[in-house]
Structure 1
Amino acid sequence: MRNLSIIIILALLVGCNVRPEDNVTTDSYFNLEKLLNQEIEYLLSQNAGLEKSLTSNGIRENTNFQPQTKDDWESQLSLFFDANIDKPGYKGAFYEEQLSPLSGVSKTIYTAKSSKTAVRTFECLYSDDLLSQINIQIGEKNMIFTSLKTLKLYFDPNGEHIIGFDVEGQENMQLKEDMEYSIQAVITY
């Protein structure tokens, strides 16, 4: 009986000893933040700039900008950083769907399980297995504010580097005029 008790205690101790590498999960979504940080390093090394066109309530403005630091680029891409869904708080928050290639184009779509999640859809488009575009839809709504945004990142034909981005949005607020805006940006070298 005593040997049986010792065996049970040893089994419990060994069974409860969880190694950290056993707790690593592979359930993750597309890591946009990692991609953007790598791209910023490349853009800085190439001394890249931006040609931007901003339209707000029908008024259009064109600008050229030469980001000099990582912070400058992060500021220009801040909406995309905010839309990263590969965060611990989002674990299990999205459905993932793989659409089979049709004429060489395939998609991975992440759709929010809850309407309370700001990022509603996150879509990666691949052309011949190379990332060609990322589309993100963001929606926020409360009693006094409604905001809808569509973000798009475009990649070169090799799927290696960002060549531009678009942002379209509208905001509706109580006691304030509605606003519609769009930004088209092209990366220049």
Structure 2
Amino acid sequence: MASSYFSLEEFFRSEATRLTKLAPTVEKTVSRNGMSEGKSVQINDWKNELALFMDSDINKPAWQNSYRVDSTDRLLTYTSTDPELRTQKISIEKDENEKVKHIAIINHASNMLYQTEERLDYYPDSLYQIDKQQQVRLIGESQYSIRGVLQ
């Protein structure tokens, strides 16, 4: 089998465990169609909080040849070669010590009833953000955003 891709699932499982132990306060802002609400919260279930990031993992045997891999010293990018796959692009930026600095994910899904675009950003110990744009037939367009700033 070809070498596996960077495992988002493993990375975010480990982050969930680490953040559960750390128990940071999070300034969380949730927006829907321009209306937003923010508050300071303690996240009790980091696995659930980071689930969308974990669900974007591309380590499936069926997809082993479905992504083009580009890398430089500090940036690793996976770009889907199949427009039907949900996870279209993953960029992983590392610092000089090979520690993950930023993960950016672009997901896309569509069928006859809806079209969804997601952009997920994760900066360890700092920020996570989920921006989602959804076009649903008969209902129209909605935009959602979740932003968590770790204190």
Which TM-score applies when normalising by structure 2?
0.90
* Unaligned segments of structure 2, at least 5 residues: none
Q: How many residues align?
A: 150
User: Which has the higher mean CA deviation after the structures are superposed, 107-116 or 37-46?
Assistant: 37-46
Secondary structure of the 2:52 match is: helix
Match of 2:111 among 130, 142, 154: 142
Question: Which protein is richer in helix relative to its size?
Answer: 1
Alignment pair present for 1:83 and 2:59? no
Residue equivalent to 1:33: 9
The alpha-carbon deviation at position 115 of structure 1 amounts to 0.5
Find runs of 4+ consecutive structure 1 residues off by over 4 angstroms. none
User: What TM-score does the superposition give when structure 1 sets the normalisation length?
Assistant: 0.73
Matched, 1:153 2:122: yes
| Higher Cα Rg, which structure | 1
**Highest RCO, 1 vs 2 (Cα 8 Å, sep ≥ 6):** 2
Q: Kindly state the Cα deviation for residue 89 of structure 1 after the two structures are TM-superposed.
A: 3.4
One-letter amino acid matched to 2:71: Q
- Shift in Å, 1:149: 0.6
- Over the residues paired in the alignment, what is the CA RMSD in angstroms? 1.6
How far did 1:36 drift? 1.2
Q: 1:111 aligns with which of 71, 79, 103?
A: 79
Tell me if structure 1 keeps the 8 A contact 2:89–2:106. yes
CA distance, structure 2, for counterparts of residue 180 and residue 152 of structure 1? 16
C-alpha separation between the residues in 1 aligned to 2:12 and 2:41? 18
Counterparts of 2:8 and 2:126 in 1: how far apart (Å)?
A: 15
Please tell me whether residue 177 in structure 1 is matched to residue 150 in structure 2. no
Q: What percent of counterpart residues are identical?
A: 24
Deviations 1:116-174 (A, max 9, x none): 1000001111232432101100011112211001000113xxxxxx4221111200011
Secondary structure of the corresponding residue to residue 51 of structure 1? strand
The unaligned stretches of length 5 or more in structure 1 are: 1-24, 156-161
